Structure 1
Amino acid sequence: MKVSGRLAVDTNAVIAYREGISEVCTLIDEADVIILPVTVLGELLYGALNSAKTEKNEQVIQKFAAYSLVMQVDEAVATRYAKVRFNLKKNGTPIPENDIWVAAACLELEVPLLSRDGHFKYVEGLDLCNW
Structure 2
Amino acid sequence: MSNLLLRELSLLGHRCPIITADHEDYDRYRKVWNGVADRRPAAIVRPQSVDDVQKAVHAAAASRALLAVSGGGHSLPGFSTCDAGLVLDLSELTAIAIDRDTRTIEVGGGALLGDLDRATVPEGCLA
Whose relative contact order is higher, 1 or 2, with alpha carbons under 8 Å and at least 6 apart?
1
Higher normalized strand content (fraction of residues) = 2
Higher normalized helix content (fraction of residues) = 1
Per the shorter chain, which TM-score range? under 0.3
User: Which TM-score applies when normalising by structure 1?
Assistant: 0.27
User: Which TM-score applies when normalising by structure 2?
Assistant: 0.27
